[in-house]
Structure 1
Amino acid sequence: MATPRVHDVLLVGLGAVGAIYALILKRSGLARVTVVARSNYDAVHNHGFHFKSRKYGEITGWRPDRLVRSVAEAADRPYSYVFLTTKAIPERMTTPHLFNPFLSSPYVDTYAQPTYVFLQNGLNVEADLYHALINLGKGKPSIVSTAVWIGSNLLEPNVVEHNHFDKVTLGVYRHNDFTAETNTPAEAALLEDVGSILRAGGSTITIVPEVQRMKFSKNLWNVSFSSLAALTSYRLPAIFRAPPSDPSVSYTPYVSPTTADLITKYTIPNIRSALQELIVLGHAIGYPDTPNGLPSSIVDTVIENTRKLHIVPESTHKPSMLLDVEKGQPIEVEVIIGEAVRMARARGIEMPRVEMLYALLLVVQNQILRKLEESK
């Protein structure tokens, strides 16, 4: 049996998601892992990373094969794959700017371009890099898109908490093509190679011919519920959970009976209407109204599944957009909501509720950015 190839792999962004996937990549035994850690470089360099994972266990002092401070420092060798796990905040830095050392001399004169693997939320996050790679004139860009489901939080710069699951759906990025039904043999081989590394490291992998629909479906929850939490500063039990019925049980938030009928009459229906606007957009993009496409019934499914998670006393989940607001960190408003608005306008589709969410979150983002600029 042939010895499996060990790939040189770069991962950019050692946050809550990036740390888990850096661990997975190294666990695979199929990757020599270089990690770019920017804000938390010193903590990881001095003490290693501490994982508190229900799936992978308690791991202290973990380090990748190589830890660097910047993409420029990492651009000293060829890579098979470059994984991008940062939050997508184009107002702060575009992806081509982040990867400029890979898109300019001497790198482009010395090494072939890697396959870029995007582990990021949002829609069309790959487009800017795609155009930058096209402009290099080095052939067709190789980009893998993903839809990622993971439960992890960064507790300290070098401490991550992870629950029992991480799963990734992989697909080839095809610019402005949302309806492909098959992978070519070359695409299938590429996806299987990426998937085999992640699978060997312990992650759950699904390979599909068209991943943008999966990303669109995942984005429904972020547009509706993550936005609501960020704008109200409350977790989702505030619209679903009844007050404690047992005097020995205490929790917040919950729906006060005083105006519970108004939440039912106005809040939930407007969330449903925002989701329905997104479904209209999805169907206009080309996703079919079928069980394997983008069924209209997904609106009620998303609401009901969210309700079930947040009516119980044990509900403690805090949407990432709310966490960012609380920490004074930029939110992913452009790639999660702004891009949906732009796609709708390009197709002549009106989405008044989604546009209102976008408009309000723009103010939140503007003030976060203002404070960051003032603190420099």
Structure 2
Amino acid sequence: MRSTYDRAVKQGIDIDSVDFGDNIKSWRPTAIMRSVPDVSDKGTEPFEFIVVTTKNIADVPPTVAEIIAPAITPGKTAIVLAQNGVNIEKPLAARFPTNPLISSVVFTGASILPSGTILHSDTDMQRIGPFSSPLVPAKVAEDAARRYVSLYNPNGHLDITFNADVPGMRWRKLAYNSSFNAVATALQMDTSRIRMCQHLVEELVIPIILEIRAAAAAKGITLQEDLINAVMTQDGAESYFKPSMLQDYEKGNLMEVENLVGEPLREGASLGVSMPTLRIIYNLVKGLQVKIMEKKGLWEARYQSDSP
């Protein structure tokens, strides 16, 4: 929406949605803002929820905590992280220790057409639950998560439900993102073509899925028995789908390298889990990230003191 901000303000938002109907014209939310509102400003009421749906680029500032800080009221505002990856709540818990933190694991598909219309092509499925935060009572966090579900899905018609198994849901999604998403980006191939190449499936995709399963198990998280088949068939055989990191790379946008690949690798390593395939893919996509950063003026091509 950032790229179509001016159009949205002037004309509203056109939507074609698999869940809410086609040909929705000039829909307008209560307000469209260019910057994050500051609750310290006179007349700005505290927010009950802040829903964060941006890409989480942990290796490039500003951080999520820095972005949303002006809108947070300590002890009141619940922060919903509708973002991918593991350990994404830790910086928020450190910055906002008295605020409930909520996880939303999202499975959906949407894009902006050249006309500016939002095409919502895959039905919205979310699993929402409380993150653990040291200074927030578990009951407070759970109540906030359940209230958010009730606001988002008041009639129960959507596949948006409460699920307390936040770690399990997040590691399950990593089984796809750390494998197909990262491999597709490193190879710049869609998932259908990867599946057509048996050596890529056997030597890259499946080993990473198994490494993610092993890391999750080391944390006490048991992923489903049919995990390999579930991940392998997540995208339709004839979909020729390009996962999110590959789409970002092709557009010249920064990618969620650390949350989707780096952090699960570090988690596994800290628990003594060997993840050699993921380590190789991580360094490849991290190299692609450097190329994007250089084009954006965020990285300078010069030798460091420890460069060979």
TM-score category of the 2 structures, normalised to the smaller one: 0.7 to 0.9
Q: Distance in 2 between matches of 1:113 and 1:190?
A: 10
Change over 3 Å in CA distance of 1:199–1:191 after alignment to 2: same
Match of 1:148 in 2: 106
In 2, the alpha carbon distance for the partners of 1:266 and 1:323 equals: 20
The two structures have a TM-score, normalised by structure 1, of: 0.71
Partner SS, residue 190 of structure 2: coil
How far apart, CA to CA, are the structure 2 residues paired with 1:194 and 1:274?
34
Q: Which runs of 5+ in 1 are unaligned?
A: 1-13, 15-37, 135-139, 177-182, 241-254, 256-262, 289-293
Aligned to 2:259: 335
* Equivalent residues in 2 for 1:47-66, closer than 5 Å: 47-57=11-21, 58-66=23-31
Q: Which residue of 2 aligns with 1:295?
A: 224
1:1-376 aligned within 5 A: 14=1, 38-57=2-21, 58-72=23-37, 76-92=44-60, 93-102=62-71, 113-134=76-97, 140-156=98-114, 158-175=116-133, 186-200=140-154, 203-240=158-195, 255=196, 263-265=197-199, 267-288=201-222, 294-303=223-232, 305-306=233-234, 309-310=236-237, 312=238, 315-373=239-297
Query: How far off its partner does 1:219 sit?
Result: 1.3
Amino acid at match of 1:229: A
SS at match of 1:45: helix
| CA distance in 1 between partners of 2:151 and 2:283 (Å) | 41
SS at match of 1:141: coil
Q: Deviations over 1:309-343 (max 9, x none)?
A: 12x3xx24321111111100011111111110111
The one-letter code sitting in structure 1 at the alignment partner of 2:10 is N
Could you tell me how far 1:269 is from its partner in structure 2?
3.7
Q: TM-score, normalised by structure 2?
A: 0.86
Please say if residues 131 and 141 of structure 2, whose CA atoms lie closer than 8 Å, have aligned partners that are also in contact.
no
Question: 1:252: which partner in 2?
Answer: none
Alignment check: 8 A CA contact 1:272 1:300 kept: no
Shift of 1:270: 2.8
Q: Measure how far apart 1:73 and its partner are.
A: 5.1
Opposite residue 66 of structure 2, the aligned amino acid is H
| CA deviation vs aligned residue, 1:87-118 (integer Å, no higher than 9, x gap) | 11122321111123246xxx66xxx5300111
- Give me the identity figure in percent: 26
SS of the residue 1:194 aligns to:
helix
CA distance in 2, matches of 1:157, 1:335: 32
Change (3 A) 1:72 1:164: closer
Q: Distance in 1 between matches of 2:71 and 2:47?
A: 10
Cα pair 1:89 1:334 within 8 Å, conserved? yes
Instruction: State the Cα distance separating 1:164 from its structure 2 match.
Output: 4.7
Distance apart, 1:120 and its partner CA: 0.7
The alpha carbon displacement at 1:306 in A equals 3.9
- In the alignment, the residues of structure 1 paired with residue 298 and residue 165 of structure 2 have an alpha-carbon distance, to the nearest angstrom, of 43
Distance in 2 (CA, whole Å) between partners of 1:211 and 1:239 is 30
| Unmatched segments (≥5 aa) in structure 2 | 300-308
SS in 1 for 2:32: strand
Shift of 1:159: 2.4
Alpha-carbon separation, structure 2, partners of 1:164 and 1:219:
19
Post-superposition CA distance 1:176-235 (Å, at most 9, x none): 9xxxxxx96544432321111111375322212221210110111111111122122221
User: Against the structure 1 CA distance between its residues 282 and 196, is the aligned structure 2 distance closer, same or farther, given a 3 Å change threshold?
Assistant: same
> Which residue number corresponds to residue 304 of structure 2?
none
Question: Residue 213 of structure 1 aligns to which amino acid in structure 2?
Answer: G
Q: Partners of 2:104 and 2:198 in 1: how far apart?
A: 35
- Tell me the CA shift for residue 277 of structure 1: 0.8
Closer/same/farther in 2, CA of residues 336 and 374 from structure 1, 3 Å limit:
closer
How many residue pairs match? The answer is 291
1 CA distance for matches of 2:173 and 2:147?
24
Q: CA deviation at 1:155?
A: 2.2
Check whether the contact 2:124–2:158 (CA below 8 A) recurs between aligned residues.
Answer: yes
Question: Over aligned residue pairs, what C-alpha RMSD do you find?
Answer: 2.5
Code of the residue aligned with 1:214 in structure 2: it is M
> Retained in 1: the 8 A contact 2:107–2:124?
yes
User: What is the CA distance between 1:175 and its match in structure 2?
Assistant: 4.5
How far has the Cα of 1:158 moved from its partner?
Answer: 4.2
Is the Cα contact below 8 Å between 1:153 and 1:162 reproduced in 2?
A: yes
Contact kept in structure 2, 1:40 and 1:157, CA below 8 Å = no
Which of the pair has more CA radius of gyration? Answer: 1
